[in-house]
Amino acid sequence: MNMKKDIITIAGRPGSGKSTASKSLASELGYAHFSSGDLFRSIVNERGIELTQAHLISERLSEIDHAVDARLKEIGSTEDRRVIDSRMAWFWMPESFKVFLDLDLNTAAERILASMDATRTDNEHVPSDPIEYAELLRVRLDGEASKYQRLYSANPYDISNYDLVVDTRANNPDQTRELILREFQNWRSRV
Protein backbone atom coordinates (compact mmCIF):
# COMPACT_ATOMS: atom_id res chain seq x y z
CA MET A 1 0.00 0.00 0.00
CA ASN A 2 1.28 3.46 -0.89
CA MET A 3 1.86 6.06 1.79
CA LYS A 4 -0.04 9.30 1.36
CA LYS A 5 2.03 12.28 0.32
CA ASP A 6 1.31 15.97 0.73
CA ILE A 7 0.70 16.28 -2.99
CA ILE A 8 -2.53 17.37 -4.63
CA THR A 9 -2.86 16.42 -8.29
CA ILE A 10 -5.50 18.30 -10.25
CA ALA A 11 -6.78 17.05 -13.59
CA GLY A 12 -9.87 18.01 -15.52
CA ARG A 13 -11.41 19.24 -18.69
CA PRO A 14 -10.17 22.35 -20.50
CA GLY A 15 -11.52 25.58 -19.00
CA SER A 16 -12.52 23.87 -15.75
CA GLY A 17 -10.19 26.01 -13.66
CA LYS A 18 -7.26 23.65 -13.12
CA SER A 19 -4.67 26.44 -13.26
CA THR A 20 -6.69 28.79 -11.08
CA ALA A 21 -7.39 26.10 -8.47
CA SER A 22 -3.88 24.70 -8.40
CA LYS A 23 -2.19 28.11 -8.04
CA SER A 24 -4.68 29.22 -5.38
CA LEU A 25 -4.28 25.99 -3.39
CA ALA A 26 -0.48 26.11 -3.61
CA SER A 27 -0.50 29.67 -2.31
CA GLU A 28 -2.94 28.92 0.51
CA LEU A 29 -1.04 25.81 1.63
CA GLY A 30 2.46 27.24 1.09
CA TYR A 31 3.17 24.42 -1.37
CA ALA A 32 5.12 24.61 -4.63
CA HIS A 33 3.11 24.64 -7.86
CA PHE A 34 3.86 22.69 -11.05
CA SER A 35 1.96 22.69 -14.35
CA SER A 36 2.42 19.92 -16.91
CA GLY A 37 0.69 22.15 -19.45
CA ASP A 38 3.29 24.87 -18.95
CA LEU A 39 6.09 22.36 -19.46
CA PHE A 40 4.34 20.90 -22.54
CA ARG A 41 3.86 24.39 -24.06
CA SER A 42 7.51 25.25 -23.37
CA ILE A 43 8.76 22.12 -25.15
CA VAL A 44 6.36 22.66 -28.08
CA ASN A 45 7.47 26.29 -28.45
CA GLU A 46 11.14 25.26 -28.36
CA ARG A 47 10.42 22.92 -31.27
CA GLY A 48 8.52 25.58 -33.23
CA ILE A 49 5.22 23.70 -33.25
CA GLU A 50 1.93 25.63 -33.11
CA LEU A 51 0.09 24.66 -29.90
CA THR A 52 -3.33 23.76 -31.33
CA GLN A 53 -1.63 21.60 -33.94
CA ALA A 54 0.48 19.99 -31.21
CA HIS A 55 -2.70 18.92 -29.38
CA LEU A 56 -4.27 17.60 -32.57
CA ILE A 57 -1.18 15.63 -33.62
CA SER A 58 -0.08 14.77 -30.07
CA GLU A 59 -0.34 11.05 -30.75
CA ARG A 60 2.70 11.51 -33.02
CA LEU A 61 4.52 13.64 -30.42
CA SER A 62 4.72 11.05 -27.67
CA GLU A 63 8.34 12.02 -26.92
CA ILE A 64 7.01 15.30 -25.49
CA ASP A 65 4.57 13.37 -23.30
CA HIS A 66 7.40 11.12 -22.16
CA ALA A 67 9.51 14.15 -21.19
CA VAL A 68 6.61 15.64 -19.21
CA ASP A 69 5.85 12.26 -17.61
CA ALA A 70 9.49 11.77 -16.63
CA ARG A 71 9.36 15.09 -14.77
CA LEU A 72 6.11 14.08 -13.05
CA LYS A 73 7.61 10.75 -11.95
CA GLU A 74 10.65 12.58 -10.58
CA ILE A 75 8.45 14.99 -8.59
CA GLY A 76 6.33 12.13 -7.27
CA SER A 77 9.30 10.12 -6.07
CA THR A 78 11.46 12.93 -4.67
CA GLU A 79 9.23 15.80 -3.61
CA ASP A 80 6.35 16.63 -1.31
CA ARG A 81 4.19 19.66 -0.53
CA ARG A 82 3.19 20.24 -4.16
CA VAL A 83 0.05 21.11 -6.07
CA ILE A 84 0.25 19.79 -9.60
CA ASP A 85 -1.94 20.78 -12.53
CA SER A 86 -1.68 17.83 -14.92
CA ARG A 87 -3.86 15.38 -16.81
CA MET A 88 -1.72 12.39 -15.83
CA ALA A 89 -0.07 13.25 -12.48
CA TRP A 90 -2.73 11.18 -10.66
CA PHE A 91 -1.45 8.16 -12.60
CA TRP A 92 2.23 8.75 -11.80
CA MET A 93 1.54 9.74 -8.18
CA PRO A 94 -0.96 7.24 -6.75
CA GLU A 95 -0.07 8.44 -3.24
CA SER A 96 -1.38 11.94 -4.02
CA PHE A 97 -4.81 13.41 -3.32
CA LYS A 98 -6.36 13.15 -6.78
CA VAL A 99 -8.85 15.82 -7.90
CA PHE A 100 -10.81 16.07 -11.15
CA LEU A 101 -12.44 19.36 -12.17
CA ASP A 102 -15.41 18.70 -14.43
CA LEU A 103 -17.06 21.09 -16.85
CA ASP A 104 -19.20 20.66 -19.95
CA LEU A 105 -17.34 21.55 -23.13
CA ASN A 106 -19.75 24.27 -24.28
CA THR A 107 -19.22 26.21 -21.06
CA ALA A 108 -15.50 25.44 -21.27
CA ALA A 109 -15.30 26.92 -24.77
CA GLU A 110 -17.09 30.09 -23.68
CA ARG A 111 -14.81 30.49 -20.65
CA ILE A 112 -11.61 29.90 -22.57
CA LEU A 113 -12.55 32.26 -25.37
CA ALA A 114 -13.54 34.97 -22.88
CA SER A 115 -10.16 34.71 -21.16
CA MET A 116 -7.99 34.70 -24.30
CA ASP A 117 -6.24 37.79 -25.55
CA ALA A 118 -5.88 38.45 -29.29
CA THR A 119 -2.25 37.31 -29.36
CA ARG A 120 -3.06 33.91 -27.89
CA THR A 121 -6.11 33.50 -30.14
CA ASP A 122 -3.99 34.27 -33.22
CA ASN A 123 -1.00 32.16 -32.12
CA GLU A 124 -3.12 29.13 -31.30
CA HIS A 125 -5.51 29.57 -34.27
CA VAL A 126 -8.55 29.27 -32.02
CA PRO A 127 -11.97 29.70 -33.65
CA SER A 128 -13.97 32.62 -32.24
CA ASP A 129 -17.27 30.71 -32.31
CA PRO A 130 -17.82 28.88 -28.96
CA ILE A 131 -19.71 26.00 -30.60
CA GLU A 132 -16.95 25.47 -33.15
CA TYR A 133 -14.33 25.71 -30.40
CA ALA A 134 -16.25 23.22 -28.20
CA GLU A 135 -16.11 20.73 -31.08
CA LEU A 136 -12.36 21.31 -31.42
CA LEU A 137 -12.02 20.66 -27.67
CA ARG A 138 -14.07 17.46 -28.01
CA VAL A 139 -11.77 16.21 -30.79
CA ARG A 140 -8.73 17.09 -28.66
CA LEU A 141 -10.10 15.23 -25.61
CA ASP A 142 -10.97 12.15 -27.68
CA GLY A 143 -7.44 12.17 -29.08
CA GLU A 144 -5.91 12.55 -25.63
CA ALA A 145 -8.04 9.76 -24.18
CA SER A 146 -7.00 7.49 -27.05
CA LYS A 147 -3.34 8.43 -26.69
CA TYR A 148 -3.21 7.84 -22.93
CA GLN A 149 -5.07 4.56 -23.32
CA ARG A 150 -2.53 3.44 -25.90
CA LEU A 151 0.52 4.69 -23.99
CA TYR A 152 -0.46 3.79 -20.42
CA SER A 153 -3.78 1.90 -20.47
CA ALA A 154 -5.22 4.81 -18.49
CA ASN A 155 -7.99 7.35 -19.06
CA PRO A 156 -7.56 10.75 -17.36
CA TYR A 157 -11.25 11.52 -17.99
CA ASP A 158 -12.55 8.49 -16.06
CA ILE A 159 -13.74 10.06 -12.81
CA SER A 160 -13.36 6.77 -10.89
CA ASN A 161 -9.58 7.50 -10.87
CA TYR A 162 -10.02 10.41 -8.47
CA ASP A 163 -10.59 11.03 -4.76
CA LEU A 164 -12.71 14.11 -5.46
CA VAL A 165 -14.69 15.36 -8.48
CA VAL A 166 -15.78 19.00 -8.53
CA ASP A 167 -18.25 20.48 -11.03
CA THR A 168 -16.80 23.93 -11.65
CA ARG A 169 -19.92 25.15 -13.39
CA ALA A 170 -21.76 24.72 -10.08
CA ASN A 171 -18.81 25.92 -7.93
CA ASN A 172 -16.97 29.20 -8.40
CA PRO A 173 -13.16 29.33 -7.92
CA ASP A 174 -13.40 30.17 -4.19
CA GLN A 175 -15.91 27.38 -3.56
CA THR A 176 -13.77 24.95 -5.57
CA ARG A 177 -10.64 25.84 -3.58
CA GLU A 178 -12.45 25.53 -0.23
CA LEU A 179 -14.00 22.19 -1.19
CA ILE A 180 -10.63 20.79 -2.26
CA LEU A 181 -8.92 22.09 0.92
CA ARG A 182 -11.59 20.56 3.15
CA GLU A 183 -11.52 17.19 1.40
CA PHE A 184 -7.71 17.18 1.26
CA GLN A 185 -7.59 17.69 5.05
CA ASN A 186 -10.13 14.89 5.52
CA TRP A 187 -8.13 12.61 3.21
CA ARG A 188 -4.90 13.33 5.10
CA SER A 189 -6.52 12.52 8.44
CA ARG A 190 -7.77 9.08 7.32
CA VAL A 191 -5.49 6.12 7.79
For 44-79, write each residue's pLDDT tens digit: 777 776 655 555 455 555 677 788 888 889 998 998
- Flag whether 38 is in a domain: yes
Q: 82 is in which domain, residue-wise? A: 7-181
Q: What is the pLDDT of residue 115?
A: 87
8-47 pLDDT, tens per residue?
Answer: 999 999 999 999 999 999 999 999 999 988 877 777 777 7
Task: Flag whether 21 is in a domain.
Answer: yes
- Residue 54, pLDDT score: 56
The confidence score (pLDDT) of residue 70 equals 87
Report if residue 186 sits inside a domain. no
Distances from the Cα of 168 to the Cα of 55, 91, 93, 103, 153, angstroms: 23, 22, 23, 6, 27
More confident residue, 73 or 127: 73
The pLDDT assigned to 98 comes to 98
Does a structural domain hold residue 98? yes
Q: Give the pLDDT of residue 58.
A: 53
Number of domains present in the structure of the chain: 1
Digit-coded pLDDT (tens) for 149-184: 988 999 999 999 999 999 999 999 999 999 999 999
- What is the tens place of the pLDDT at every residue in 72-114? 899 989 989 999 999 999 999 999 999 999 999 999 999 999 9
Q: Is residue 34 part of a domain?
A: yes
Residues in the chain: 191
Q: Which helix (H) or strand (E) holds 132?
A: helix 130-152
Which of 178, 18, 17 minimizes the C-alpha distance to 83? 18
pTM: 0.85
Q: What are phi and psi of 14, to 5 degrees?
A: -55, 140
Residue 188 falls within a domain, yes or no?
no
Mean per-residue pLDDT, 129-135: 92
pLDDT the model gives residue 61: 59
3-state percent breakdown (helix, strand, coil) of the chain, nearest 5: 60, 15, 30
Strands 97-102 and 32-35, by their bridges, are: unpaired
What CATH number is given to the structural domain containing 13? 3.40.50.300
Residue 58 lies in a domain: yes
Examine residue 170 and state whether it is found in any structural domain, yes or no. Answer: yes
